[in-house]
Amino acid sequence: MSISMAQPDNMHELDSMAALRQSVRNRIGISGDVEDDELLYHVEQASKDIKDLFATSFGPRGLNKIIISPTSDIYMTSDGKTIIEQIDVLHPVVTFLKELARSMDTACGDGTKTAVIFAASLVENAARLADYGLHPATIIKGYQLALNKAYEILEYESTEALSEEDLYSVIENASLSKGVEYGQAKMITDVVLKTLSELKRLNDDARIDLNEYVKVIKKVGGPAMECVPGIVLDEKPARDDMPSHFKDAKILLLNYNVKFESKIINSQHNIRVEGVDNSLLFLREQMSSLKHLAGKIIASGADVVLCEGSVDESVEESLAKHGILLFKKLKMKDIEKISQATGASIISIKDEISPDDLGFADKVTVEKKCNEYFLSLSVQDQPISTILIWEPFSYGLEKVEEAVDDALNNAAFLLKKPHVVNGGGGIEFVLSQMLKKYASTIDGKEQLAVIEYANALEEIPRILARNAGLNEVDAMSAMLSYYNKGIDSRIDYCRKVTENYPPVYDSSSIKKLCVIAATEATNSVLRIDKILLKK
């Protein structure tokens, strides 16, 4: 009897495991072991699908993707890393391309789509060569030869960004790549240049860590954008009757709550409060404790108190009467950034507060804009800035923030190494043409791999032309004509092939990382000879 009752549970468990296993296999996109011709088909098809997905959102004229999450949240993006992370597929080729996107985003914060499109094109071309009979080792060797030569050409084609106009061009081009309008790109470029120039002035010898020194706040309103020296928090004061302006302010940072905690007095819950006298005694003890907490803060001499936890109303009232500005329930990362900027220690209200624990800010203001409160803390000669973005519609905020992020990362790279290459697909076209000539100097089948490497590079300007509404054959013919005359050209924002003047530039460092990372990812895929599905 007991055995027959257990069987349905075991069968149900086995059915659940089988369903889970089938669900994972569906996400992988294969039903069994894959090798030989079937493996080539899977590799080629997966690469083509990823390239097609990315191609339509590539460049200034690329289109956005609407992503619907499992919780039915809908948001619009053209960011390469975001798109590929949302692909619910575990196919090995897709996994390699996902890792490529993550590594590019971590290393330089830009160039994700360029690297993924280039890598997908390399894999697709390699699968075609393998179908013709070339061994993967031969293709890998040819790709490595092409990478080495491409790096040499990039070094030769790189020029130093000597003027403000050169820097402006790179940052503006990075902004436009996210699909923002030309006017927005100019506004972003102005703000980012101002931000990074100030950081460079105050932190000339150190590496510029954007996560550490730059904070971005996005709000519905405007459209407008501004760079504020110092830290800005979109937080409301604890009370409306607190002061809103300080000069030479002393800052106190607290973690945890500033409240009466009954469990401290009676942690074992073994004391029962009965009767009016006992209740009044308990209430007096509570008020005495809260008065003591407020007294500690007031005696510290702090002008502004920023607390990570909640604060009792009686403490708030006492601080307001003594002209102290209080903010509560703040994010710990904001508290840490303020600590870094002002030099204040993060302490608990239970600790003794010494003058050394307090920080300093030259100016503290509280303002209300578009029904939003903003706290600004300015500290002289501190390399921390806040970029405040206003957009009329919430769906446009993500796109503008992505453009600001790309612009900041490009600017940071340029400040470290101010070398640039031609943008608008110009450098990829030059690399493609030079590698095709280089292939003719190579003996053996590797030259076929070098030619396919060059063809994969040419996919970048082809996609830019197609997204701009141009006939890609005519566009490539026009670029070839410019190239044969020794004139740099590009796919222009105004939907035509033009001479690269006034110049549009990309960061040379980011372009090199794209080429290297894409080639390494491709070679990793080409080393796969069989996909085994664990039973």
DSSP assignment string, 122-145? HHHHHHHHHHHT--HHHHHHHHHH
In this model, does residue 533 exceed pLDDT 50? yes
Q: What is the mean pLDDT of the chain?
A: 83
| Residue pLDDT, tens place only, 175-218 | 888 878 888 888 888 888 888 777 777 666 545 667 778 888 88
Closest CA to 245 of 101, 378, 150, 419: 378
Q: Which domains does the chain have, with CATH numbers?
A: 23-159+425-531 (1.10.560.10), 163-230+388-417 (3.30.260.10), 236-372 (3.50.7.10)
pLDDT for residue 38 = 66
Separation CA 238–CA 326 (nearest Å): 6
The 8-class DSSP code of residue 445 comes to T
Separation CA 432–CA 28 (nearest Å): 34
pLDDT for residue 207 = 58
Of residues 31 and 172, more confidence is placed in 172
| Residue pLDDT, tens place only, 409-458 | 888 788 778 899 999 999 999 999 999 999 999 989 999 999 999 999 99
What whole-number percentage of the chain has pLDDT above 90?
A: 40
In this model, does residue 275 exceed pLDDT 60? no
Angle at 236 between CA 235 and CA 242, to 5 degrees: 135
In this model, does residue 336 exceed pLDDT 80? yes
| Residue pLDDT, tens place only, 59-79 | 888 887 777 766 666 767 777
In this model, does residue 498 exceed pLDDT 60? yes
Per-residue pLDDT, averaged over 459-479, amounts to: 94
Separation CA 113–CA 66 (nearest Å): 17
Confidence of residue 36 (pLDDT cuts 50, 70, 90): low
Taking the CA of residue 377 as centre, how many other CA atoms within 13 Å lie in the half-sphere pointing to its CB? 31
Separation CA 489–CA 133 (nearest Å): 37
